[in-house]
Structure 1
Amino acid sequence: MTDSDDAPTRKPSSRGPWAVAAAAVLVALGLLLWLVAAPGDDDTSDVPTAASADAGFARDMAVHHQQAVEMSFIIRDRTDNEDVRRLAYDIAQTQANQRGMLLGWLDLWGLPKTSSDYMTWMKGGGHMGHEPKDGSLMPGMATNTELDELRQADGKRAEILYLQLLTDHHMGGVTMARACAQQCEVPQERQLAQGMVEAQQSEMKLMADMLKDRGSAPR
């Protein structure tokens, strides 16, 4: 589907290539099985505990990623700009894929997928200088008020707000992923976390340029 399929006054349909983001979890599970099938000679005695950095990062980042996917689907319907929609599609697809991997690991480890104690897995019990905002669960996450504002915005205003919210979101995600890269014990999870750091830093640079083009900047 292309935007030209709709009348000029209508927002793009929810169908089309965006469905790949939802299907990405299925691809992730196939990759997950390959990753876990080749960890070395370790046995089930090496499965992380529920209080480990490995499990904590998997639980918390799955929640963190879900909001990025949600915001990306919101902006899809609030702008016709191809560059913003392309970025949002890439973020939704990538983070839905990674979220599937994280939840799949928790399944294989036989550990809970949810916890009320966010971020306690990070050494020192803090957020390493990036505190969550009032009303948000973790560093970088948008509040419900901000999500409602994004849902109500249109055009350039929606684009700017999305790029600013996602920049904040990526900053918090990079903080968490760096902590896992240092603290997690499962090699595949450390590798995934380091990949998140590099990819999200690159996306933040792109978003800063896109904000500058719109006469704005990260918050």
Structure 2
Amino acid sequence: MAEITLTTFLTLDGVMQAPGGPSEDPSDGFDLGGWLVPYADDETGRYVAEWFSAADGFLLGRRTYEIFASYWPLQTDENNPVASGLNRLPKYVASTTLDKAEWNNSTLIAGDVPEAVAELRKKPGREIQIHGSGRLAQSLMAHDLIDEYRLWIYPVVLGKGRRLFADGAVPAAMKLVDHKLTSTGVAVHVYRPAGRPTFGSF
């Protein structure tokens, strides 16, 4: 069975909105986009390349799909593991507003997204990767459909913006299975779901 993995960039206060640039996602008046750029280094590229090389496909929300589709088809270096993977492999796009997805090997999921993803998960393979795609990730988290979380925690606090683990998220315990630290102080934590939280008292 394929696994659904989520890779996303987060601030210390959990914001995931517009990490790559001011124009990436200014919805709800968000004006602090581009917050990860000062922390980019060679290790970031290496870790990203390692994970992309394990993908058999990608699962994207509409906004992330549109951002990716405007850039990656123009990157034609076959030795670039991100570009070659994204341009070649299947892409499943969860959207109720797109009429078509023209990027090579893209398929729209317009109906019941958790049900469609549950079916994808039953297929043989390695990973179907989610990158960013916060609303999509939240809907799948609510149905226990994410097998691994790869959370890049950046040493910055924004005080506003869309968060991955927003109010109302389903309570969940996680098991830390790997961690890395980049030269610029980005902590990369890899978690797998470990059921529901347990509680006690001191």
Same fold (TM over 0.5): no
TM-score of the superposed pair, with normalisation by structure 2: 0.25
Which structure has the highest strand share of the two? Answer: 2
Which structure has the highest helix share of the two? Answer: 1
TM-score of the superposed pair, with normalisation by structure 1: 0.24
